[in-house]
Amino acid sequence: MNSRSVYVPLVKGKKNDLMAVGRVNNDVRQLMKPFIEAMPINPKAPLVEEHVFKLCEYIRKHLPLGEIFVDFHGLMPDATISDGTNATLHGFALLKAFGRSVTPAYGFERNDDLWDALGVIARDFNKGFCFRLSRDDLAEYLFDDVWAQIIERTAQMRLPQNKIDLLLDLRHIDGDDTSNLAENIVSFLFHNPNIAGYRSIVIAGSSALKTVGSIEKNKVGEVIRQELRLWSALWRDMPDTIKPTFGDYGIIHPDFSDQTTSRYVNAKIRYTAGDKIIYFRGHALHHPIKDYDQYHDLASRVSADFRYVGRTRSFGDTYIDDCARRLIRPGSLATWVIADMNHHVCYTARQLARLIQQLASTATESEAEIALSTV
């Protein structure tokens, strides 16, 4: 991974999410390595080949440059295209044909017949390989087995340890389990005495809400970014030779699905600042009447908030200000995913670059709390 990378956003393989990441500022692009994951196939349109092609085409179009991870995690492990080729292998072959080099990512409890082929793919791309580990993989009684698998599969793929990234995907994180999680992660990592030899260790999770149902209509709510606090605790406690890289799901809940829609969906703008995601909730977009104009008022509330960082900081911040000034149409759910996610990614990458400098000289937990909450 690029030595300048401080951030790994986990990005759903959907057009709007990829557009959001593709529109980041140049300084931000140098600070991050996005992790793109395929969405599950819609059972109403189970065309595997088309699904894989669409994702690869989105990547080619919206993320043509810079380093990225790609994981076809949303596919069934044994899914194949019409000629019998495994869909995951087909996806990486398509990216290669498009001239888009990536770091392949894969996990356990999938299709163990693919490891030899994944090794060929990884060596061909020459961008290393990422093991994606789940929270279940971090169970203490599995430490020996999981490390044995990592070491054996690395050897099977004929890759050196210093070309291997480890992504610990914690998915949704509750506030009351971060201290236990931190202890568990440290125990797992140092179970391997050669842990410092890996290229990077990414700690990823999310505190984003799945719905805004807990927030009163036309009001503002917020959640603490527990994943940021967890990363901070680990970064301060771990030695200089093993500093974790921060990862999150942006403003999207890890279990988000695009396969169901509701006529009662609400307008909302999600805005990241300090150690919080702030939710500016509106009301129903389609019921009892169609009301997209409410986005103008929501954007005005965001731009008037003391935590708004200014229109020049990202595409998303410009979009918010333009909407608040009614210089553009109010937008849709799709365009606000782009704006919300783009602001989050740009803000977080710069925030992490600052935090790494500050935490290096931070002596107390209270000083770290101040650094995290600073907008």
151-203 pLDDT tens trace: 999 999 999 999 999 999 999 998 767 889 999 999 999 999 999 999 999 99
- Would you state the pLDDT for residue 259? 62
pLDDT range class, residue 360, cuts 50, 70, 90 = confident
pLDDT range class, residue 361, cuts 50, 70, 90 = confident
Query: Can the peptide bond before residue 288 be classed as cis, meaning omega within 30 degrees of 0?
Result: yes
- Would you state the pLDDT for residue 233? 94
373 belongs to a structural domain: no
Tokens of 116: 């030899």
Least confidently predicted of 132-141, 346-355, 359-368: 359-368
- Would you state the pLDDT for residue 256? 82
- Would you state the pLDDT for residue 179? 86
The answer to whether the beta carbons of residues 297 and 276 sit under 8 Å apart is: no
* Residue-number span of the structural domain to which 46 is assigned: 7-258
Per the prediction, the chain carries an average pLDDT of: 95
With residue 89 as reference, give the H or E element that holds it: helix 87-97
Q: What are the distances in angstroms from CA 127 to CA 15, 104, 257? A: 24, 8, 30
The whole-number average pLDDT for the span 33-55 is 90
Cα-trace Rg, the chain: 21
Say how far apart CA 225 and CA 252 lie, in whole Å: 12
The whole-number average pLDDT for the span 355-375 is 90
The whole-number average pLDDT for the span 227-233 is 96
74 belongs to a structural domain: yes
Say how far apart CA 122 and CA 199 lie, in whole Å: 15
Kindly give the interhelix angle for 178-189 and 143-156, rounded to the nearest 10 degrees: 50
Q: What are the distances in angstroms from CA 372 to CA 6, 179, 227? A: 15, 17, 11
- Would you state the pLDDT for residue 43? 73
Least confidently predicted of 57-66, 83-92, 358-367: 358-367
The answer on pLDDT for 1 being more than 80 is no
Core vs surface per residue 195-209: b (16+ CB within 10 A) or e? beebbbbbbbbbbbb
pLDDT range class, residue 264, cuts 50, 70, 90 = confident
The total domain count for the chain is 1
Q: Residue type at 227?
A: E
- Would you state the pLDDT for residue 142? 97
- Would you state the pLDDT for residue 21? 98
Residue count of the chain, please give it: 375
Say how far apart CA 219 and CA 283 lie, in whole Å: 9
The answer on pLDDT for 353 being more than 90 is yes
CATH number of the domain residue 71 falls in: 3.20.20
180 belongs to a structural domain: yes
245 belongs to a structural domain: yes
- Would you state the pLDDT for residue 288? 87
299 belongs to a structural domain: no
Q: 228, 265, 239: which is closest to 344 by C-alpha?
A: 228
pLDDT range class, residue 108, cuts 50, 70, 90 = very high
With residue 170 as reference, give the H or E element that holds it: strand 164-172
309 belongs to a structural domain: no
The answer on pLDDT for 261 being more than 80 is no
16 CB neighbour count, 10 Å cutoff: 21
Strands 220-224 and 7-12: unpaired
The whole-number average pLDDT for the span 235-262 is 89
The reported pTM is 0.96
pLDDT range class, residue 287, cuts 50, 70, 90 = confident
What share of the chain in percent tops pLDDT 70?
97
349 belongs to a structural domain: no
Q: How wide is the angle at C-alpha 196 spanned by C-alphas 367 and 131, nearest 5°?
A: 100
166 belongs to a structural domain: yes
Q: 65, 66, 71: which is closest to 92 by C-alpha?
A: 71
- Would you state the pLDDT for residue 176? 64
